[in-house]
Structures are given as structure tokens and as C-alpha cells.
């Protein structure tokens, strides 16, 4: 039975500060490092085999993947992809979430943060935060780098990458680990679990808690579960 293991990176420094992070390449917090190590140890304890791994261009996801592989004594080649980057939060990048909610109102805040197809205003081209993006971004094709994204925009880059690059490994009965981000994983889960545009706003992805999806014939989902049940979130399926 083929497994897809989805892991949101451990807590980042900006997660801890309650800031919109998006494409800014912040590091893991001390708690995030612990979460990443615990994820790796849990995978090892359950003897879950990992054949192929993918991550984004952002160090918080890369370091989480590195920690998991190290804990499992694996020296797999990294498959990094900008398509797995976190959602670009546009002009909200760097802002404190609570302060932003008070400033623009809860309704607008929810639309920007949780709606399916509403993106925040774009980031200015000369924004100071552009200098804090991953240096790996230089390899992104010209014209493909966004200045803001909705979840739908994120979906439109994540899902084709899954279909064209990741899925073939699952078809070959290889277990795949993806270390990515809250919204890039929400986008992928929307696709895999057939979640509606109206219900996707309810899906939460916890940091540092691997979600295992087991596939049967024709990659039909047979089973899905978080490895740490104490920190599991509700998984929405066919809603």
C-alpha cells in the first residue's frame, strides 16, 4: 500500500510572532526544530519507509525535511520545487495578524486569510520583503513569480506539480514525503480529499505533525491519519 506523508514545517519564527510570512524565508523557531525532530522520530518509530522526498524553496520546510531524513538515517536526494512554496500573502506580508484584523475588520481579514479565491492587495515590486525571499527563487521562470496569491492561485501551481511530478512515484508504489507549508498543503488536500470551495476554509494543517494518506489500487484513498493524535486536526473528505 503506497503512502503519501504530508508534513507542514515546524513552527517558524514568524509563526511564533503571529505574522503573515508567505514567501519570506524565515527560519524555524526552537519549538519548530523540536517539532521537526519529533516528526522524524515518530516516522522512525512507526517504521514508515520513505522512498522519495519533496520540499519547497523555503528554509523552514527544507530544514524540517532535513531533520526528518536525518532521524531516519536517510540520504535521499532533495527534490525542491517553488510550486510547493507557501502562499504569497502580498501586501499583508510581515504584518501582525491580530493588528491587521483590528485594522481592516474581521470580515475582510477572513476573506484574505481563508477564502478560496480572494487575494490580498499585491506586494510592491520594491518592497523590503522581496530581499528576504529565498535565494533559490532566481531559478523561477521569468513572469511566474507572484506578487500576491489566493488559495486558488496556490492550488493552480501545487496541483499540476503533484500531477506531473509527484504522482508518478506513487503510481510506482514509492512512499513519498512532502515537507511544505500550511497553504500549499491545504491546496493539495483540497484536491486529494475533494473538498469544496466553501468547506476548504475549515481545513487546518498543524505544524510538525505528519499526515499519512494510504492509497490502494488506482491511487484511491483507503486511509488517512495524523501520526500525533493529540495534535490532530479534523480532516475534511468529500465535502
Output the tens digit of pLDDT for each of the chain's 239 residues: 899 999 999 999 999 999 999 999 999 999 999 999 999 999 999 999 999 999 999 999 999 999 999 999 998 888 999 999 999 999 999 999 999 999 999 999 999 998 999 999 999 988 999 999 999 999 999 999 999 999 999 999 999 999 999 999 999 999 999 999 999 999 999 999 999 999 999 999 998 899 999 999 889 999 999 998 888 888 887 76
**Does residue 40 lie within any of the structural domains?**
yes
**Does residue 198 lie within any of the structural domains?**
yes
Which pLDDT score is estimated for 239?
65
List 35, 86, 88, 181, catalytic entry: 86
Which pLDDT score is estimated for 235?
85
**Does residue 237 lie within any of the structural domains?**
no
Range of the domain at 47: 2-231
Which pLDDT score is estimated for 11?
92
How many Å apart are CA 142 and CA 193, to the nearest integer? 32
H and E: helices and strands count for the chain:
8, 6
How many Å apart are CA 121 and CA 149, to the nearest integer? 9
How many Å apart are CA 58 and CA 84, to the nearest integer? 9
Q: What is the model's pTM?
A: 0.95
Q: Is 98 exposed, middle or buried (0-12, 13-18, 19+ CB in 10 A)?
A: exposed
**Active site (annotated) includes residue 163:** no
C-alpha cell at position 158: 501545487
List 9, 88, 149, 181, catalytic entry: 9
Name the domain count of the chain.
Answer: 1
**Active site (annotated) includes residue 181:** no
C-alpha cell at position 154: 496556490
How many Å apart are CA 46 and CA 137, to the nearest integer? 35
**Does residue 238 lie within any of the structural domains?**
no
Kind plus residue range of the DSSP H or E element containing 54: strand 52-55
CATH number at residue 73: 3.40.50.1240
Amino acid at each position: 500500500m503506497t503512502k503519501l506523508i504530508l508534513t507542514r514545517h515546524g513552527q517558524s519564527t514568524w509563526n511564533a510572532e503571529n505574522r503573515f510570512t508567505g514567501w519570506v524565508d524565515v527560519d524555524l523557531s526552537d519549538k519548530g526544530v523540536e517539532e521537526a525532530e519529533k516528526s522524524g522520530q515518530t516516522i522512525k518509530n512507526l517504521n514508515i519507509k520513505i522512498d522519495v522526498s519533496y520540499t519547497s524553496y523555503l528554509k523552514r520546510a527544507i530544514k524540517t525535511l532535513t531533520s526528518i531524513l536525518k532521524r531516519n538515517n536517510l540520504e535521499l536526494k532533495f527534490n525542491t520545487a517553488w510550486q510547493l512554496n507557501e502562499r504569497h500573502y502580498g501586501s499583508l506580508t510581515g504584518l501582525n495578524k491580530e493588528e491587521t484584523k483590528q485594522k481592516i475588520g474581521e470580515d475582510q481579514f477572513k476573506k484574505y486569510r481563508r477564502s478560496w479565491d480572494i487575494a490580498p492587495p499585491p506586494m510592491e515590486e520594491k518592497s523590503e520583503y522581496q530581499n528576504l525571499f529565498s535565494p533559490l527563487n532566481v531559478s523561477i521562470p521569468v513572469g511566474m513569480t507572484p506578487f500576491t496569491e489566493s488559495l486558488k492561485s496556490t492550488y493552480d501551481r501545487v496541483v499540476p506539480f503533484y500531477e506531473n511530478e509527484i504522482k508518478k512515484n506513487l503510481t510506482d508504489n514509492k512512499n513519498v514525503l512532502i515537507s511544505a507549508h500550511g497553504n500549499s498543503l491545504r491546496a493539495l488536500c483540497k484536491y486529494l480529499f475533494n473538498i469544496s470551495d466553501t468547506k476548504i476554509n475549515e481545513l487546518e494543517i498543524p505544524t510538525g505533525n505528519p499526515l499519512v494518506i494510504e492509497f490502494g489500487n488506482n491511487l484511491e484513498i483507503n486511509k488517512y491519519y495524523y501520526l500525533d493524535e493529540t495534535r490532530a486536526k479534523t480532516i475534511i473528505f468529500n465535502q
